[in-house]
Structure 1
Amino acid sequence: MTIAHTLPSGLAAAGEALHKAAERVDDLLAALPEPTRRTPGQRAEAAAAQDEVRRLRGRFLAEHVEEVYARLTDGRDVRIEALVTEAAEVFPGLVPTAAQLADERSRVQADKEGREIDQGIFLRAVLGSPVTGPHVVDSMLRPTPRALALLPEFQRTGLLETEAVRLERRDGVAHLTMCRDDRLNAEDEQQVEDMETAVDLALLDEDVKVGFVRGGEMSHPRYRGRRVFSAGINLKYLSSGDIPLVGFLLRRELGYINKIVRGLRLDDGDWRPPYADKPWAAAVDAFAIGGGTQLLLVFDHVLAASDAFLSLPAAKEGIIPGVANFRLTRSLGPRAARQVILGGRRLWASEPDARLIVDEVAEPADLDAAIERALERLGGEAVLANRRMLNLSDEPPEEFRRYMAEFALQQALRLYGADVIDKVGRFAARRT
């Protein structure tokens, strides 16, 4: 298949040319067997065609990303989930359609065409632009409609119970408990949804002064009755194709985790800072694997049981451990960070390097008392202003934005790497 290497000038003409090129590639893919049933020659043909049209997408966005974004948002705050949906409708061929994504979602990871890579190309350009990128990040810091709808009831009762988390306000502290007890708090799309709702409520409720995150007691056979912080990404869901790039991997970082760091962006127009933020603490029982350790890097105070461990096995799994590549070096230093991320080194809470992430280590029987003391300290009057300035110094918003721009594409590519598909497939087979 031959695809033009250039696009005509002008947004409309370039968009139409891209659309026609994308349609030709879609027709080719539709005529071929599913990816796992293709011959080597068919795989090479499909890969070459996709590569060519992706070059066109990159060129189109390099020239027109600001015009595209202005057309899609018209100055409104649009979350990335809605942004990619609108882009598919307004600029056909730029990103996959809702129907194409639904078809992909119905397949296991190995049988997908990798259409999320096109979302990664689009979001890298949008986040990478110094004009559009800051607006995207700020849009993702707005409270979600779900949280705003639940806020009056939470303010009245101080309690929220969802499928993945429990949020309870006690004495000015929002106790957020991750309660996927049957799967060791392994992360999926539902957990991201529920975590963002809970973080929003904690930040919106004026009676909450401090946020606190901990894992609940497990019903899983290996840890029955014990608290566990997090087993990281749900590899079974990744193998079955149920870990989306936008709805999970990007929403997680730009949504609730960034809200813990920076707070909620509320209405502008006042002399006060536009962000509603609060101090946050966390406690690790048993282990924090993968996404669990990633999450620890954004808290103001971290406690751990003396028998707990931390790890970031994403490189072994073949993916990128969220924003840990950006944040871990400032905690551990470059050598130890590479040992953890590239080499899969496990850190026990009691060893010296772990103390660069964990502030306090207590015997399991003493952990509850240590938590209470830490939460009381975080409620001090000067804590909030100082944590704002520390976060501004540690993680300037522009550096975070540039990291997320590249992450959007690199993580999309990793999701469809042959090594990732092989590893998670073997993991799912063992679990079955």
Structure 2
Amino acid sequence: MTTAAALDRITADAVAPVPGELSAARAQLAAVAQRVDDLLQTLPAPAERSPLHTEQAATAKDAARSLRSRFLAVHTEAVYDELTGGRRARPRIADLASGGPTAFPGLLPTTAQLAADRARPQAGKEGHEIDQGIFFSRLLASPGAGRHLVDSMRCPTDRALTLLPGFQRTGIVELRSVRLERRDGVAHLTMIRDDCLNAEDNQQVEDMETAVDLALLDPAVRVGVVRGGPMTHKRYKDRRVFSSGINLKSLHAGQISLVDFLIRRELGYINKIVRGLLVDEHSWRHRSVEKPWIAAVDTFAIGGGAQLLLVFDRVIAAADSFLSLPAAQEGIVPGAANLRLGRMAGGRLNRQLLLWGRKIWAQELHARLFVDEVVDPADMDEAVDLSAERLDSPAVVTNRRMLHLAEEPPEAFRAYLAEFALQQALRLYSEDVITKAGRFSAGARAEA
């Protein structure tokens, strides 16, 4: 069969109505997806395709994605019920992403397809993560499945449960990118990626969620503090840095994952800082364990670092520090910042930050919309200790719960994340993001 004939058949089958009976719809999706995979196998690798081949691949993938979206519009709840054993299980998004291809062939990329893409730079990938974006967007948009999924992602991770006895005994856990230490009832989470100015990647998201889980699970911890550690970078040697945002070198290399980084970050450790750990879903009193959190900002909080500041109960900044949210410059969606900025700053300032790349210094008047206290860099330790002492109160815990309920209702968060999952997937594979990440990586290599 010629490529043109194969495309015609794919397009015709993909626009057929989705059967209301799940098994028939499952078969239709599997058949179309297999034909698309077969066609792609006849083409050169993505980076080696001619303009014609690129157009043919895009047409085939777009037809399959349209069918996936319509399939989920009809069967989302049934799909989720099958993948979760009637919602008796509490799988994480990675579990759903890996189990979905077996239960529903063609709905999600297989392990082999994702592995092949991971071996390529971002510009040379097939873009299978877009199909994951469609899947999680539809799940989160569904009131029943979406609520269950968000709650499931608030459960403690297996890694944290394994490390908990040791942390309770010693008060210290050393992870690859985070050091967690308990002192006088305060959990100090120090980001220690000195090789990249605490730029976030898959590993840092994994370690941050583990550390947040441990701080919330340990009853001896009453307050959490997040701060950046001293750097070895020649420009910032021995200075603490909060965060430089997403690791654009890793993005260019194709090592930033939609599931394990971009979606997990929002539904995982950041949401746990906001709403706590789900520890007893059947309790009539408290389903979750929550604690107050402090952010201590040294030098700068850029991109994802600035996003974090929006969820803390108190933010302390060194007088010589700044924050910025260069979303338009990076080309991606800045997590849930678009949802949270509105309650902290007016529309004009939001746009100056997100669309224009404005930098706000700690001593500016506008910084007070994001920062509670500005102190001399030498006084940061004392300011953190005093704030932790002040927030160490059961009444603080209850009132922060009620504040979050009023400021960011769970349903508003879920609806935002539903759209975020799809739009961020599309952004990951957009030409402008790939070009910008490539320029950053080249500049970083030249500087090194």
1:115 to 98, 106, 128: 128
1:172 aligns with 2:182: no
Equivalence for 1:143:
156
Distance 1:122 1:61 in 2: 8
User: Structure 1 residue 146: deviation in Å?
Assistant: 0.5
1:20 to 22, 31, 50: 31
Equivalence for 1:238:
251
Distance 2:431 2:351 in 1: 23
Distance 1:405 1:411 in 2: 10
| Mean Cα deviation higher: 250-259 or 346-355 | 346-355
Distance 2:389 2:19 in 1: 62
Equivalence for 1:273:
286
- CA-to-partner distance for each residue in 1:239-271, whole Å, 9 max, x for gaps? 000000000001111000000000000123332
1:405 aligns with 2:411: no
Tell me which amino acid in the other structure corresponds to 1:401. R
1:360 aligns with 2:370: no
3-state SS of paired residue (1:223): coil
Distance 2:19 2:196 in 1: 52
TM-score normalised to structure 2 length: 0.95
- CA-to-partner distance for each residue in 1:265-297, whole Å, 9 max, x for gaps? 012333212010000001100000111001111
Gaps of 5+ in 2: 1-6
Equivalence for 1:58:
69
Tell me how large the CA RMSD over aligned residues is: 0.9
Distance 1:143 1:97 in 2: 26
TM-score normalised to structure 1 length: 0.99
> Segments of 4+ in structure 1 off by > 3 A?
none
Distance 1:269 1:381 in 2: 22
Distance 1:275 1:334 in 2: 33
Paired-residue identity, %: 62
3-state SS of paired residue (1:267): coil
Contact 2:280 2:286 in 1 (8 A): no
User: Structure 1 residue 40: deviation in Å?
Assistant: 1.4
Contact 1:315 1:321 in 2 (8 A): no
3-state SS of paired residue (1:177): strand
Distance 1:8 1:209 in 2: 53
User: Structure 1 residue 80: deviation in Å?
Assistant: 0.4
1:81 aligns with 2:111: no
Equivalence for 1:294:
307
1:217 to 230, 242, 251: 230
Equivalent residues in 2 for 1:89-108, closer than 5 Å: 89-108=102-121
Distance 1:277 1:394 in 2: 16
Equivalence for 1:189:
202
Gaps of 5+ in 1: none
1:349 aligns with 2:362: yes
3-state SS of paired residue (2:144): coil
Contact 2:154 2:268 in 1 (8 A): yes
User: Structure 1 residue 371: deviation in Å?
Assistant: 1.5
Distance 1:62 1:290 in 2: 33
Tell me which amino acid in the other structure corresponds to 1:251. R
3-state SS of paired residue (1:132): helix
- CA-to-partner distance for each residue in 1:326-357, whole Å, 9 max, x for gaps? 11111112110111011111111111111100
Distance 1:399 1:187 in 2: 26
Contact 2:20 2:74 in 1 (8 A): no
1:32 to 36, 43, 56: 43
Contact 2:92 2:152 in 1 (8 A): yes
Equivalence for 2:324:
311
Tell me which amino acid in the other structure corresponds to 1:194. D
